[in-house]
Chains A and B, each alone.
Chain A
Amino acid sequence: MLEAENLEKCFGDTKAVDDLSLEVRKGEIVGLLGPNGAGKTTTMQMLSGLMEPDSGKVSAENSVRRSVSVVFQEVEYSSKLNVREFLRMMSVLNENTGELEKIIEKVGLEKYRDTMVPGLSGGNKKKVNIASGLLKDPEYLLLDEPNSGLDPRARKDVRDMVSGFADDVGVLVSTHSMEEAEKLCDRIIIIEDGREIVSGSPDKLVAEIDADFVVKAEGKIPEGFEDQATRVEDFFEIKTDKPHELIKKLVESGEIDDLENLSIEKPGLEEVFFEVTGRRYEEDN
Chain B
Amino acid sequence: MKKIIELLKADLLDIIRRPANMFFAVIMVLGVLFLTGFVLNTGTTADIVASYAVFISAYTGFIMTSMAILKDRDRGLYRMYRSSKLSKAEYVSSKISYTALSLILSGLIIAIGFFTSKIFLSWLILPVIILTVLAHVGMGLLISAFVETTQEAQRIVQVLFFAMIFLSPVFYTSEGLPQIMQMLQQFIPLTHGVEAMRTVMVDGNGLEHTWRQLTVLIGLTIGTMTVGYRKLEF
Contacts and interface: CB of A to CB of B under 8 A. Distances in A.
B18 A80 contact: yes
A70 interface: yes
A70 B84 CA distance: 9
Contacts of A48: 83
Interface stretch (B5-13, B59-67, B99-107, B125-133): B5-13
Nearest to A45: B79
A85 B75 CA distance: 17
A150 interface: no
B155 interface: no
Contacts of B203: none
A251 interface: no
B33 interface: no
A78 B17 CA distance: 12
B91 to A, nearest CB: 9
Interface residues of A, number: 27
Contact of A93 (B14, B18, B79, B86): B86
Contacts of A70: 79, 83
Of the four ranges (under 10, 10 to 19, 20 to 34, 35 or more), the interface on chain B belongs to 20 to 34
A50 B7 contact: no
Contact of A133 (B10, B14, B83): B83
Nearest to B72: A79
B81 interface: yes
Contacts of A74: 76
B34 to A, nearest CB: 30
A93 B75 contact: no
Given A80-B17, A81-B14, A50 B82 contact: yes
Given A75-B77, A76-B76, A79-B14, A136 B7 contact: no
B88 to A, nearest CB: 11
Interface string A117-154: 00000000000000011011000000000000000000
26 contacts: A50-B83, A66-B85, A72-B80, A75-B75, A75-B79, A75-B80, A76-B75, A78-B75, A79-B14, A80-B13, A80-B14, A80-B18, A81-B10, A85-B10, A88-B6, A89-B9, A89-B10, A90-B80, A92-B3, A93-B6, A93-B7, A93-B81, A93-B84, A94-B85, A133-B83, A136-B83
